[in-house]
Amino acid sequence: MSRATVLELLRDGEGAFLSGEELSRRLGLSRAAVWKAVDALRREGYVIEARTGLGYRLAAVPDAMTEAEIRSFLGKTAVVGRELRCFDTLDSTNIRAKQLAQEGAPDGAVVTADLQTAGRGRMDRSFQSPRGKGVYLTALLRPHLPPERLLPVTAMAGVAVCDAVEELCGVRPGLKWPNDPVLGGRKLCGILTELSLEGETGRVQYLVLGIGVNVGQTAEDFSPEVAEVATSLSMALGRSVSRPALAAAEIRALDKLYASLLAGDLSAYLEAYRRDCVNLGRTVQLISPDGARETAQALDINREFSLVVRTEAGETKTVRSGEVSVRGMYGYTE
């Protein structure tokens, strides 16, 4: 606790020096306890300058996915992020969030990890999650809604990621249907939504919404099979981006998403999705689970966030997420 309180006071000082005596008085700690707290913060990556006669000042903070750093950017939220659990290493933030749900974690709890050893994407694909390179977080939601009202959540999360990146970085990603934020024609982010229903009643027990954004990766950080289709914010922008600041922006965007979902007002998300969808007006290939392929033209996104296409035979059809895969980005349609 002394470490956290010393850090809070140093932050509040906004770069000014605070004497050890002042820190001791305001926190009710001994000078030795203050020094130990400062030393512990330095080991965590905080740059704290000490000068005789002046005291201590916070000169720089680490790019760390810790609760202290995320909350320093977060501000107040209505539901999502009120409880924040940050881990150094997890198999998967979704797996941990589901465990916490079974243990009674509250609506809106958020789980983050600096490293995932078994990150997953849609269709059980792996999601590469190297240490210190991305923002890997999952929000646990407990909406009192029927399951059919939750079908748009993943698409809405794509919009939320675009909102967060635009807020922090000043550029807005596009969206490859159904839920891939992209920059420069390459995949920036993976989103995986999982739902738990009560067996007898079909009532929603909880929903976990997992998001992994590539932030600091270089081309060498991606395995050969994804290197041609993946990117990171630093690769696309040519500069570094604060991971805790992005995590905070994502949490705020998810808090806004949750409020809209509960209110049943998805119009702003549908409008944004249609605007951001990079498939519209392009030729795509529809790939069914048995491997059959069909070429089509992407026309629109309907009110359920499904993709409306026109086939080569002139038939207009609606494609729902999970029924087929859609290719038509990352430089290929074949």
Over residues 171-197, the pLDDT tens digits come to 999 999 988 999 998 999 999 999 999
CATH 2.30.30.100 fits 283-327, yes or no: yes
- From the list 269, 172, 209, the residue with the least C-alpha distance to 79 is 209
Within 8 A by CB and 6+ apart from 279, the residues are 176, 177, 298, 307, 326, 328, 329
- Bridge partners (DSSP) of residue 311 are 296
Distances (CA, A) of 232 to 147, 182, 222, 276: 33, 9, 10, 18
CATH fold of 67-276, please? BirA Bifunctional Protein; domain 2 (3.30.930)
The stretches of 84-152 forming alpha helices (DSSP H) are 93-102
Return residue ranges of the chain for CATH 1.10.10.10: 2-60
Return residue ranges of the chain for CATH 3.30.930.10: 67-276
**The pLDDT value given to residue 5:** 86
Q: Tokens at residue 151, please?
A: 């079908």
**The pLDDT value given to residue 2:** 77
Exposed e or buried b per residue across 236-251, where buried means at least 16 C-beta atoms within 10 angstroms of its C-beta: bbeeebbbbbbbbbbb
- Bridge partners (DSSP) of residue 112 are 86, 137
For the ranges 49-58, 147-156, 230-239, the lowest mean pLDDT is seen at: 49-58
- Band of pLDDT at residue 23, cut at 50, 70 and 90: confident
Higher pLDDT, 229 or 3: 229
Return residue ranges of the chain for CATH 2.30.30.100: 283-327
Exposed e or buried b per residue across 272-295, where buried means at least 16 C-beta atoms within 10 angstroms of its C-beta: bbeebbbbbeeebbbeeeeeeebe
**The pLDDT value given to residue 325:** 60
Q: Are the beta carbons of 212 and 205 closer than 8 angstroms?
A: no
Q: Report the top-level CATH class of 2-60.
A: mainly alpha
Sign of the dihedral defined by the CA atoms of residues 322, 179, 110, 39, in that order: positive
For the ranges 123-132, 164-173, 279-288, the lowest mean pLDDT is seen at: 123-132
**The pLDDT value given to residue 334:** 33
Predicted confidence (pLDDT) per residue in 53-90, tens digit: 898 999 989 899 999 999 999 999 999 999 999 999 99
